[in-house]
């Protein structure tokens, strides 16, 4: 998770890559700008990550039949659907939560609740939500700190890495309890089901990054009849020795699970993936659990350790899982 140990590991990783702060900032900023404008080129094919599966992942969606004639190489690529986003305020049992909601203009579509990382809702997550909406989903990304503060929380992940940023986040994070997340997950799921852009005849999904990874487990346990997929990316605290540990909630889920683990998180907690797989198997939860050769934070576009190749691979696995189970 995003703690001092992770920050130290990531700093050492960046030092080994000899990336200056300017180079890191330019890379992340360019990626974010391209995602916002929708002008990003298709990424190069990613190398297969070094995985340490404890069981075979669920079968991937069946490939489309081979065409009898070669496709027209001059044909234009399929146009992405036009999307529309807006800031919203959601009335919760304990206050009002600000969030960003974005969906295709023509719908309805499956709903997705996206939990941000420790730095909170900001432009990076608005762009990630917008990209997911362009794939045919109605996406809500939330201010998980709404009980303590209104937006903006932080503008960038780099701001979190400063002493002032860490001081700002520390009490906000500490104020969130497992009971809060459970209540919030259920409330956000209900809000999604009230939107005309959301197809109530199909399951919801929830995705989460860093601290948000564990929130997906609690959301699915809070609304088991509605949540059909959880997707955790470099999620923190998925396996603990506490009774309320996220992994202990797997038997309460009626959802498939995609759990993408950072290599430095796995190095620190090597048993976690095995416990997750065994618990999922015992609960008959379809789970794809894999360690990626990337640092904690690799999927978030403004993270200093953003890894485009591995982020795109995790993104493609998320889309495949959504297509199969929603």
Tell the residue number behind the tokens 């937006």, with chain if given: 151
Within-domain flag for 69: no
Structure confidence at residue 74 (pLDDT): 47
Structure confidence at residue 107 (pLDDT): 85
Q: Answer whether 176's CB lies under 8 Å from 145's CB.
A: yes
Within-domain flag for 20: yes
Structure confidence at residue 73 (pLDDT): 39
Within-domain flag for 8: yes
Whether a cis peptide bond, with omega within 30° of 0, leads into 318 is no
Structure confidence at residue 305 (pLDDT): 96
Q: Which stretches does DSSP call E strand in 184-226?
A: 204-209
Within-domain flag for 231: yes
Q: What is the pLDDT of residues 68-89, one digit of tens each?
A: 333 343 445 567 789 999 999 9
Please tell me the total count of domains within the chain.
1
The mean pLDDT values, 10 residues at a time, for the chain of 326 residues are 52 50 42 40 36 39 35 53 96 97 96 98 98 98 98 97 96 97 98 98 98 98 98 97 96 98 97 98 98 98 97 98 98
Within-domain flag for 70: no
Structure tokens at 60: 């991937």
DSSP assigned state of 227: E
Structure confidence at residue 9 (pLDDT): 52
Within-domain flag for 73: no
> What is the extent of the structural domain holding 204?
4-54+81-325
Structure confidence at residue 224 (pLDDT): 98
Of all helices (H) and strands (E), which one includes residue 15? helix 4-17
Within-domain flag for 36: yes
Cβ neighbors of 267 (< 8 A, separation 6 or more) are: none
- Distance, in Å, from the CA atom of 254 to the CA atom of 117, rounded to the nearest integer, reads 24
Within-domain flag for 67: no
Domain at 314, CATH number = 3.40.50.1820
Cβ neighbors of 265 (< 8 A, separation 6 or more) are: 1, 6, 234, 236, 272, 296
Burial of 125 (0-12, 13-18, 19+ CB in 10 A): buried
Of all helices (H) and strands (E), which one includes residue 87? strand 83-92
- Distance, in Å, from the CA atom of 17 to the CA atom of 261, rounded to the nearest integer, reads 21
């Amino acid at each position: 998770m995003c703690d001092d140990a992770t920050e130290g590991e990531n700093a050492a990783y960046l030092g080994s890559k000899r990336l200056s702060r300017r180079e890191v900032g330019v890379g992340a900023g360019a990626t974010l700008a391209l995602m916002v404008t929708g002008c990003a080129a298709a990424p190069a094919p990613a190398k297969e990550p070094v995985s340490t599966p404890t069981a075979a992942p669920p079968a991937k969606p069946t490939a489309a039949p081979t065409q009898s004639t070669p496709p027209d190489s001059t044909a234009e690529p399929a146009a992405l659907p036009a999307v529309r986003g807006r800031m919203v305020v959601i009335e919760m049992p304990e206050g009002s939560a600000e969030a960003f909601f974005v969906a295709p203009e023509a719908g309805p579509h499956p709903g997705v609740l996206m939990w941000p990382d420790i730095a909170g809702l900001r432009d990076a997550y608005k762009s990630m939500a917008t990209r997911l909406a362009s794939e045919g989903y109605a996406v809500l990304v939330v201010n998980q700190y709404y009980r303590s503060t209104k937006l903006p929380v932080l503008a960038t992940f780099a701001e979190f890495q400063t002493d002032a940023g860490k001081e700002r986040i520390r009490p906000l994070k500490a104020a969130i309890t497992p009971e809060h997340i459970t209540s919030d997950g259920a409330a956000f799921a209900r809000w999604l089901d009230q939107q005309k852009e959301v197809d109530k005849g199909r399951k919801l999904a929830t995705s989460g990054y860093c601290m948000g990874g564990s929130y997906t487990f609690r959301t699915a346990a809070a609304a088991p009849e509605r949540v059909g997929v959880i997707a955790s990316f470099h999620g923190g605290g998925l396996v603990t020795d506490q009774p309320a540990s996220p992994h202990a909630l797997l038997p309460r889920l009626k959802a498939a699970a995609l759990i993408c683990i950072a290599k430095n998180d796995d190095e620190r907690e090597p048993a976690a993936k095995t416990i997750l797989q065994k618990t999922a198997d015992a609960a008959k939860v379809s789970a794809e659990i894999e360690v990626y050769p990337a640092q904690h934070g690799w999927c978030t576009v403004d993270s200093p350790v953003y890894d485009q190749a591995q982020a795109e691979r995790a993104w493609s696995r998320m889309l495949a899982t959504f297509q199969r189970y929603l």
